[in-house]
Amino acid sequence: MKPFAYLFILLLITASSFPASAQNKKAVKAYATFDAGEYHIAIDQFKDAYQKTTDKKEKLHMAFYIAECFRLTDNAPQAALWYGKVIAKDYENPLSVLYYADALKMNQNYEEAKAQYQRYKELVPDDPRGSDGILSCDFSLQWIEQPNGYVVEEMKFINSKYSDYSPAYARSDYQELYFTSSRDETTGNAEHGGTGQQFSDIFFSTMDKKGKWSTPLPLAEPLNSEAEEGTPVFTADYNTMFFTRCNVSKRKALGCEIYTAKRDGDKWSDVESLSLSEDSVIIAHPAVSPDGSTLYFVSDMDGSMKSPEGKNSKDIWMVTSSGSSWGEPVNMGAPINTPGDEVFPYMHADGSLYFSSDGHIGMGGLDIFKAVKTEGGQWQVENMKHPINSAADDFGIVFEKEVESGYFSSSRKGKTLDDIYSFILPPLRFSIVGVVKNERTDEIIPDAVIKSIGSDGITLDTKSGRDGLFRFTLKPGTDYVFIAEKPGFLKGKERESTKGVSQSTEFKTEIYMASIETPIEVENIFFDLDKAELRPESMVSLDKLVETLNDNPNIVIELGSHTDSRASDAYNNDLSRRRAQSVVNYLIEKGIARDRLVAKGYGETVPKTVDKKDHAAYSFLTEGTVLTEAYINGLGDDDRMEMAHFLNRRTEFKVLRTDYNGQ
C-alpha cells in the first residue's frame, strides 16, 4: 500500500465505524484501531475478536471490516476472500458486493468480477460504478488480448522487499534516479499502523558506464527526516526539487505539504514548505510544468469532487507562480477528475499530463492515464492500457524527454507492495508478406512484378519468387496499394494500411490475377426474369469491373451474356444481347471509352465449364464438366438442375486486345 494513500484515507474518516451493539472488548479495540486508520494492526485485532464472538450479526459485521482492512492495505486476494464470506451471508451493506467485485478485478478474475458488478448494478441502479465496472472488465480482457507494444521489466536491482515507487529522473542524462521507499535504511524509525511499514524516504541510485544501477541510498537530512518524504519531481534544469512531506503523530494525521529544495553540488539545501493550504489538509504528489510556472498536485481540500458516499475525493489541482509566490489553487475538474481518486500526476515535456485514477474505467486498482489538450483547449483522457496497466495498482510514471521510455510503479505480480518497473516502446516495425495466385485455378504465379505505392509518395517494386511470394517493409502511418502485373494476366491489386496500428505487425495478403487466355466471369450480375435491365445489386461487381478496366487501360474487352437452355434459341440470343448491352452502357456511364467495349449475346450456345470454385460451392458438380442441356436434364433432382441452370446464366468478359492507346 502507498503510505501517502494511507494518510489520505486517514483524513477522510469522519465518523466511527463502531456499531452500537458491540459489547466485545476486543471488538471495541479493533473498531477504534480501524477508525484511527491503523488497518494493518486492526486486521489481527478483528480476527481475534471474530473468533471470540458468538453473535452472528456482529460476527458478520466484523468480517466486513476485516475485508475493509485488507482492501485499504491493497491486499486484494485476502480482501476477495473476506468479502466473499460476507456476501455469502447476504450482508446488508451493498458496498460489500462492489468491493468484492473490485477485489476480484484486482486479482484479474474479470469474468466473476463482471458478474458481481452486475449484481451491484441491480442492487444500486443509480450508482454508475456498477456499469463502469462491467465495462472495465470487458475492456481489460480486450487490452490483455491486444497489448499496445510497450516492453515492461521489473527493476530488480533497485527494488526491495518494501514499497518502492514514484521514480523521477534527477539528471538530464537520465542516469540518476530518485524514488520513494520504506526500506530499512529510512531516517525515521516509526512504523505505520496503516501499512506495517516504516515511514518512507527519498532514495537515489546512479547508473554506471555498463548500464548497471548502484545500490540505492537515502538522501541526507534535512531533506529526509523523522516524518515521511516521497514523490520527488524536478524542474527542467534539475536544480530545484519538489517533494511531499507528511507528519503523523499517534493516531492523528497532521497533513501533508509540498516542499522545495535547492541543489547545492551533490547536496540539497533550503528545504522550505510551499504552504499552499492550512495545516491538516493533504497537499501531495507534486508535478511541475516544463517551464516551471505551473505546479500540479493532489488534494482532497474543499472544492474537490464528491465520492458517491458524499466525501471529498482526491483530485488533481493546479497553481501558477507569479515569480515570487504561488497563486490560488484551481481544481482541474472534469474530465481529469472524477468522483473517484486521481493521484500521482506527471507533466511530460511535450505538455501531456499523466496521472493515476480509480475513477476512470481501468483494469484494476489505480490505472495510469494520459491526458492531451485538444485544439479547443479541452483535455482528452486515454487509458495507457496493458502492459503499462495491470489488474493491480499502477502509478507514478516518468518519461525521458524525447523517447517513449521511462519508469513507473506497480503492485502487479500478486504483490501487495509496490515495485518500480522500466518501460520502453520499441520503434514500430511493419512488413507485408504476400503471394500472387491465379484467380481461377488458385495456382501460384512466379515472376510477377509487384509495385508498392505508399501514401507518402514512395513507390517500390519487387518480383514474386518461384513460390509466388513477395515481401515489403512498410512505414508507420501509411496507406499502401500493391499492384501485381505479368504478361498474359490482368493486373491484380490489394490494399493495406499501417495507420492506427499500435504494435509491430507482419501483414499477410494474397493478390489474385486473372489470365486473359480464357473468359473471366463477372460475378453477381443479376436481371429480373425476361428483363435486360440491371438490378441494383449488380452495381458492386460492375464497379469492380470499372476499376479493373482503369487499372488495365490498354485492354479492349468483349462483354458476353449467357442464358440457360429453357427458351427458344432466338429468344435467348436476343435477351442475352440486350443484357450484354446493358452492361456496356453502364460501363460507358462510368467513364469507360466506348471503343474499348464490345457487347455480345451468346444465348445458350456456350454452356459453362465447371471450375474449381464452382465445384467448391456445388460439390455434386465435377470440375471440368460442361453444363449442357443434356447433362443438366440427366441430373434428375430439380434443385440440382436449377443450380446448374443458374451457373449457365452468367456474364463474362474476355480480352480482345492489349494494345489500346486511346485512339
**Structural domain 520-657, CATH architecture:** 2-Layer Sandwich (3.30)
Mean pLDDT of the chain: 90
**Which CATH number does 430-513 carry?**
2.60.40.1120
Supply the pLDDT for residue 310: 84
Task: Please list, in sequence order, all residues whose beta carbon lies within 8 angstroms of the beta carbon of residue 6, skipping any fewer than 6 positions away.
Answer: 37, 39, 72, 192, 194, 195
**Res. 574 pLDDT band, cuts 50 70 90:** very high
pLDDT tops 70 at residue 618: yes
Q: What angle do CA 188, 190, 193 make, to 5 degrees?
A: 145
pLDDT in tens, 439-454: 988 999 999 999 999 9
Supply the pLDDT for residue 8: 42
Supply the pLDDT for residue 36: 83
**Listed residue (439, 482, 445, 488) closest to 462, CA to CA:** 482
Residue 622 is classified by DSSP as P
Nearest-angstrom CA–CA distance, 560 and 386: 56
Supply the pLDDT for residue 25: 83
Nearest-angstrom CA–CA distance, 258 and 324: 16
Supply the pLDDT for residue 278: 66
Q: Prior bond to 387 cis, omega within 30?
A: yes
Tell me which amino acid residue 342 is. Answer: E
Q: Which CATH superfamily is domain 151-424 in?
A: TolB, C-terminal domain (2.120.10.30)
Most distant pair of Cα atoms in the chain: their distance: 108
pLDDT in tens, 129-147: 999 999 999 999 999 998 8
Residue 430 is classified by DSSP as E
**Res. 17 pLDDT band, cuts 50 70 90:** low
> Is residue 420 within a helix (H) or strand (E), and if so which, with residue range?
strand 419-424
Write down the H helix ranges in 163-242.
none
pLDDT in tens, 66-90: 999 999 988 999 999 999 999 999 8
Average pLDDT for 491-514: 94
User: In the numeric block, which cell numbers belong to residue 142?
Assistant: 480486450
204 vs 51, more confident: 204
CB 74 within 8 A of CB 365: yes
Average pLDDT for 49-68: 90
| Percent share of the chain, pLDDT over 90 | 72
Supply the pLDDT for residue 663: 64
**Res. 277 pLDDT band, cuts 50 70 90:** confident
Q: What angle do CA 221, 227, 230 make, to 5 degrees?
A: 80
Supply the pLDDT for residue 375: 86
**Res. 279 pLDDT band, cuts 50 70 90:** low
CATH of 3-145 given 1.25.40.10, 2.60.120.260, 2.60.40.10, 3.40.50.150:
1.25.40.10
Sort 292 into a burial class: Cβ within 10 Å, 0-12 / 13-18 / 19+. middle
Supply the pLDDT for residue 298: 96
Average pLDDT for 406-413: 94
CA 563 distance to own-chain centroid: 54
CB 445 within 8 A of CB 464: yes
Write down the H helix ranges in 36-128.
39-52, 56-72, 76-88, 95-106, 110-123
pLDDT tops 70 at residue 634: yes
Give the lowest-confidence range in 140-144, 393-397, 522-526.
Answer: 522-526
**Res. 3 pLDDT band, cuts 50 70 90:** very low
Supply the pLDDT for residue 507: 98
Tell me which amino acid residue 2 is. Answer: K
**Res. 280 pLDDT band, cuts 50 70 90:** low
**Listed residue (174, 112, 502, 102) closest to 349, CA to CA:** 174
Domains 151-424 and 520-657 equal at CATH topology level: no
Q: Prior bond to 335 cis, omega within 30?
A: yes
Q: Strand 430-438 and strand 505-513: pairing?
A: parallel
pLDDT tops 80 at residue 251: no
Average pLDDT for 459-479: 96
Tell me which amino acid residue 457 is. Answer: G
3-state secondary structure 250-303: CCEEEEEEEEEEEEECCEEEEEEECCCCCCCCECEEEEECCCCCEEEEEECCCC
Supply the pLDDT for residue 11: 40
Give the lowest-confidence range in 192-206, 213-227, 639-653.
Answer: 192-206
Supply the pLDDT for residue 15: 39
pLDDT in tens, 147-202: 888 999 999 999 999 999 999 999 999 999 999 999 988 887 666 666 667 889 99
Domain boundaries, the chain: 3-145, 151-424, 430-513, 520-657
Sort 97 into a burial class: Cβ within 10 Å, 0-12 / 13-18 / 19+. buried
Most confident residue range from 100-104, 198-202, 306-310: 100-104
**Res. 5 pLDDT band, cuts 50 70 90:** very low
Sort 20 into a burial class: Cβ within 10 Å, 0-12 / 13-18 / 19+. exposed
Q: Which residues pair with 253 in a beta bridge?
A: 248
pLDDT in tens, 422-432: 999 998 899 99
To the nearest 10 degrees (0 to 180), the angle between helices 569-589 and 539-551 is 60
pLDDT tops 60 at residue 41: yes
